[in-house]
Amino acid sequence: MGLLLILMTISHSALAFHSVTSSWTAQSQPLLGRAVDNSSLLRCLQVTPPVLRPDNLCQQTLMVHTFAFSYGQPFVGNYYPPPCDFNRVALEFTVTSAGRQFDRLAVMYLDDIEIFRTSTAEPTANGIIWTYTKDVSAYSTLFNARHKIVFDLGNLIDDIYTGTWNTTLVATFFKADNTLDPADVIIPISAHKSAANKASAFIVPESKAIDSLQLPKNTKKAVFSISACGQSAEEFWWSNVLSSDTRVFGNDTTLYGHSPFRELQLLIDGNLAGVAWPFPVIFTGGIVPGFWRPLVGIDTFDLKEDEIDISPFIPLVNDGYAHTFEIRVVGIDDDDNGIGHLTENIESNWVVTGKVFIWIESGTNLTTGTLPVISSPPPVLRLQSTTKKHVNGTIDSLKYAIHVSRQISVESTIMFPTGLKTLSWKQNLEFSNSGTLSNQGNDQIMRQITSGTSTSSSGYTRSFEYPLWVVSSYNAPSGGNITIDGRLGRGKNVKQLGELAFLNEWRTFDLNRLPSAPQNLSFIGSSTKNWQNGTASYLSVPALKKSYGSGNTEQLFALSGINERAESVVQGPADETRVSDEISEELYQRCIIAGNDTIVHDKERFGGQHNQRGLLNLLSHNSPVVSVPEYANSWVKAVLGRGPN
Ligand SMILES: *[C@@H]1O[C@H](CO)[C@@H](O)[C@H](O)[C@H]1NC(C)=O
Ligand SMILES: *[C@@H]1O[C@H](CO)[C@@H](O)[C@H](O)[C@H]1NC(C)=O
Ligand SMILES: *[C@@H]1O[C@H](CO)[C@@H](O)[C@H](O)[C@H]1NC(C)=O
Ligand SMILES: *[C@@H]1O[C@H](CO)[C@@H](O)[C@H](O)[C@H]1NC(C)=O
Ligand SMILES: *[C@@H]1O[C@H](CO)[C@@H](O)[C@H](O)[C@H]1NC(C)=O
Ligand SMILES: *[C@@H]1O[C@H](CO)[C@@H](O)[C@H](O)[C@H]1NC(C)=O
Ligand SMILES: *[C@@H]1O[C@H](CO)[C@@H](O)[C@H](O)[C@H]1NC(C)=O
Ligand SMILES: *[C@@H]1O[C@H](CO)[C@@H](O)[C@H](O)[C@H]1NC(C)=O
Ligand SMILES: *[C@@H]1O[C@H](CO)[C@@H](O)[C@H](O)[C@H]1NC(C)=O
């Protein structure tokens, strides 16, 4: 995705000490329609709970396509609804690739509406294969009608980058769980380019992610979803420094600025309706590629969307006129004195789309109510940075720390046929990031945590925690060799009660895999804990046209269903306190360790103990004691580059 990744890609094609120029044996069979010998291909995977997808006859192959040189040339096909009755849809995306190639971003659309955002593993000379299954039942209303399929996977082929992507996309339609309530109408906030057979994402900040929509007058519930990820110079946004510090190591070493904080904002007619603080997705070429093969990063094959309940805005937007919806990606610029402000002036770029999911109240013509009361004071920012100098006056290291907190609340009262109801959306978010750069910026230690809770009056509550720490060291001594050493730990822990547009995680889990699952097993929510940590290094020896990589990564994943809220009264010394807690049931757990292209340990467990009061405690995100080896003084990131700039 950037120049750094080009070099990293070379490294990885040569993993296990093969020459980077080795070619692969061509296969003559087509990918689909007959058995392909995939036994020699390295199987890559993203750890996720198995998704319910029964083997049934109601399947459609939506795409069989090879992406070779495919920039600006998405696959375009037609979708026709299947001849079967369904309330669930699962996509199965299978990819093979051999040769040398970057990691690539891919987005699938039905017309102008984004359905699925994924990215690729990096191939080996001998070839890789992966399959990812994704539940897309939230889009049932779209799958019931005819659409154009646009699948955009921009790839480059030349003398060096030889890997093409052989892909198949199969949809399975089935019936399960009659308590689902998918949206009646889905309206995109996108660049609307499907008519020209193009992808409809906005590229921000080059273009504004803004659209004008008209909502049905009898909308009773509306949910906004944001899909956005940083690319090129914004790919590693979480490792950026304060804008006032970008030249701290001198003018030859420009660090990326606008701080390591990013916020995705939704504005409706210019009013802030809610925000999403993004999960730091790391692609398979990220930091050191050796971390990510064959085990890819959290969400790498399935970039998730954040949701905002915009139902309190219904009285503002259902007047039959068009209203503007805008998604902004902001960072922080500062004055070098600890004072900062949010800015849309970030580096290039973010790939952004949005959607409004709408539920209709039949039997009425107009939903009425009070205009939303919005409380969204600017976030509270705390910014710090200090430098340490050598005795001769040059900078030894830069230390920085950023803390952001924000509270948002939107409320309105709506007249439903059943009576007046107060609708609300509340967010309480916290972010902190601290780091040290030394050795002319070649060594970095950073630690970040994003956490928060978003609550809707509909009963939806999502609490999340995204910890991340990275230690990286770049070195390019004279002679041309380049090395990168990295260690990292990261997690994504989410507890969600209820649901907005997308199905709660427990619903998409294949409950049939449980040893004894009652047919009607049902939960009010779910909790997922996901943790990855690893060590990886990379060496490039341009003189020999060779490069080498190694890496060890381990991952722990656990999914629990939350049965009910249990309220108990605890008798304290002074008073009695009401404690609200959930009773949860473990559904799935996986512990996996990969080392140098091989899975060396893999344990899965379906079902498990009944965990009362709080969830499993098996996952911790304690960081190890961090020490950084000393390297020479050259500015390797400048040599490698991190993007097109
Ligand atoms: C991709 O498909 C082409 C054409 O069918 C085939 O020659 C090639 O071997 C396939 N590559 C992989 C890695 O499966
Ligand atoms: C690999 O090949 C086997 C045997 O032909 C087949 O059963 C399996 O589905 C294939 N796997 C993928 C991911 O295509
Ligand atoms: C770095 O560049 C800035 C702006 O161009 C200039 O003011 C400054 O003197 C330069 N510093 C050095 C050490 O060259
Ligand atoms: C909706 O509007 C139509 C046409 O104006 C009217 O006939 C109908 O009674 C209205 N329905 C309701 C439930 O108000
Ligand atoms: C300043 O001191 C540091 C640490 O001793 C050394 O690495 C660096 O080369 C020195 N720089 C200059 C310009 O003398
Ligand atoms: C580059 O790395 C290779 C492999 O470790 C080593 O043999 C060679 O001496 C290194 N070259 C230089 C100039 O350091
Ligand atoms: C779920 O299944 C159990 C056992 O079969 C039954 O007793 C219970 O009534 C069912 N609950 C619902 C909501 O259908
Ligand atoms: C992951 O972290 C644990 C705990 O600090 C450590 O023991 C383990 O070696 C790490 N694994 C890898 C692959 O770095
Ligand atoms: C992977 O290779 C590195 C470097 O050769 C080595 O230190 C590490 O132990 C290897 N890991 C496994 C799991 O074999």
Domain extent for 414:
19-640
Residue 257 lies in a domain: yes
Residue minimizing CA distance to atom 13 of ligand 4: 364
- Comparing 95-99, 256-260, 367-371, 430-434, which segment has the lowest mean pLDDT? 367-371
Q: What is the pLDDT of residues 111-135, one digit of tens each?
A: 999 999 999 999 999 999 999 999 9
Q: Helix, strand, coil: what percent of the chain each, to 5?
A: 10, 50, 40
What's the distance, Cα to Cα, between the start and end of the chain in Å?
Answer: 12
Mean pLDDT on 247-276 = 96
Name the pLDDT band for 546 (thresholds 50, 70, 90): confident
Q: Relative to the alpha carbon of 35, which ligand is closest?
A: 2
Residue minimizing CA distance to atom 14 of ligand 8: 534
For residues 311 and 411, what is the distance between their CA atoms, to the nearest angstrom? 9
Mutate which of 388, 390, 438, 440 for ligand 5 pocket (most atoms within 8 A of beta carbon): 390
For residues 148 and 581, what is the distance between their CA atoms, to the nearest angstrom? 46
Residue 284 lies in a domain: yes
Q: Relative to the alpha carbon of 254, which ligand is closest?
A: 3
Q: Relative to the alpha carbon of 295, which ligand is closest?
A: 8
| H, E, C per residue of 385-448 | EEEEECCCCCEEEEEEEEEEEEEEEEEEEEEECCEEEEEEEEEEEEEEEEEEEEHHHCEEEEEE
This model's pTM is above 0.85: yes
DSSP 544: G
Kindly report the backbone phi and psi dihedral angles of residue 557, in degrees, each rounded to the nearest multiple of 5, phi listed first.
-135, 140
Q: Relative to the alpha carbon of 178, which ligand is closest?
A: 7
Residue 645 lies in a domain: no
Structure tokens at 264: 């995705």
- CA distances to 100, 246, 434, 439, 644 from 249, in Å: 34, 8, 18, 9, 21
Q: Which atom of ligand 4 has the smallest separation from the CA of 364?
A: 13
For residues 169 and 296, what is the distance between their CA atoms, to the nearest angstrom? 20
Distance 151 CA to ligand 5 centre (A): 52
For residues 454 and 307, what is the distance between their CA atoms, to the nearest angstrom? 9
Q: Which atom of ligand 7 has the smallest separation from the CA of 522?
A: 13
Q: Which residues pair with 398 in a beta bridge?
A: 387, 437
Residue 8 lies in a domain: no
Q: Which residues pair with 59 in a beta bridge?
A: 172
- At residue 369, does pLDDT exceed 80? yes
Residue minimizing CA distance to atom 8 of ligand 1: 27
| Residues near ligand 7 (Cβ within 6 A) | 518, 520
- Comparing 33-37, 356-360, 367-371, which segment has the lowest mean pLDDT? 33-37
Q: Which atom of ligand 9 has the smallest separation from the CA of 537?
A: 4
362 lines ligand 4 (CB under 6 A): no
For residues 400 and 394, what is the distance between their CA atoms, to the nearest angstrom? 18
Please list, in sequence order, all residues whose beta carbon lies within 8 angstroms of the beta carbon of residue 600, skipping any fewer than 6 positions away. Answer: 593, 594
Residue minimizing CA distance to atom 11 of ligand 7: 520
At position 151, the amino acid (one-letter code) is F
Distance 534 CA to ligand 9 centre (A): 12
Q: Which atom of ligand 7 has the smallest separation from the CA of 519?
A: 2
Q: What is the pLDDT of residues 156-194, one digit of tens each?
A: 999 989 999 999 999 999 999 778 999 999 999 999 999
Q: What pLDDT does residue 573 have?
A: 56
Please list, in sequence order, all residues whose beta carbon lies within 8 angstroms of the beta carbon of residue 519, skipping any fewer than 6 positions away. Answer: none
| Residues near ligand 5 (Cβ within 6 A) | 390, 392, 394
Residue 582 lies in a domain: yes
- At residue 544, does pLDDT exceed 90? no
Structure tokens at 228: 């956005």
Name the pLDDT band for 225 (thresholds 50, 70, 90): very high
Residue minimizing CA distance to atom 5 of ligand 3: 251
Residue 10 lies in a domain: no
For residues 117 and 107, what is the distance between their CA atoms, to the nearest angstrom? 4
520 lines ligand 3 (CB under 6 A): no
Distance 253 CA to ligand 6 centre (A): 25
Q: Is residue 266 within 8 Å of 326, Cβ to Cβ? A: yes
- At residue 518, does pLDDT exceed 60? yes
Distance 338 CA to ligand 5 centre (A): 29
Q: Is residue 118 within 8 Å of 94, Cβ to Cβ? A: no
Q: Is residue 229 within 8 Å of 278, Cβ to Cβ? A: yes
Q: Is residue 3 within 8 Å of 644, Cβ to Cβ? A: yes
Q: What is the pLDDT of residues 464-483, one digit of tens each?
A: 999 999 999 999 888 899 99
Q: What is the pLDDT of residues 452-464, one digit of tens each?
A: 999 999 999 999 9
Residue corresponding to tokens 């296990």: 16
451 lines ligand 6 (CB under 6 A): no
Residue 53 lies in a domain: yes
Q: Relative to the alpha carbon of 483, which ligand is closest?
A: 6
Q: What pLDDT does residue 91 have?
A: 98
27 lines ligand 1 (CB under 6 A): yes
- Report the helix count and the strand count for the chain, using DSSP H and E: 5, 33
Residue corresponding to tokens 């009013």: 271
Total structural domains in the chain? 1
DSSP 611-630: EESS-------PPPPP----
Q: Tell me which of 314 and 634 has the higher pLDDT.
A: 314
Q: Is residue 325 within 8 Å of 356, Cβ to Cβ? A: yes
Degrees to nearest 5, angle at CA 350 with 349 and 355: 155
Q: Tell me which of 511 and 238 has the higher pLDDT.
A: 238
Name the pLDDT band for 568 (thresholds 50, 70, 90): low
Distance 463 CA to ligand 7 centre (A): 30
580 lines ligand 3 (CB under 6 A): no
DSSP 297: P
Distance 184 CA to ligand 4 centre (A): 20
Residue 634 lies in a domain: yes
Residue minimizing CA distance to atom 6 of ligand 2: 35
Residue 419: how many CA atoms within 13 Å on its side-chain side?
A: 1
At position 283, the amino acid (one-letter code) is F
Distance 35 CA to ligand 8 centre (A): 39
The 10 Å CB-count burial string (b at 16+, else e) for 139-149 is bbebbeeebeb
Mean pLDDT on 36-41 = 79
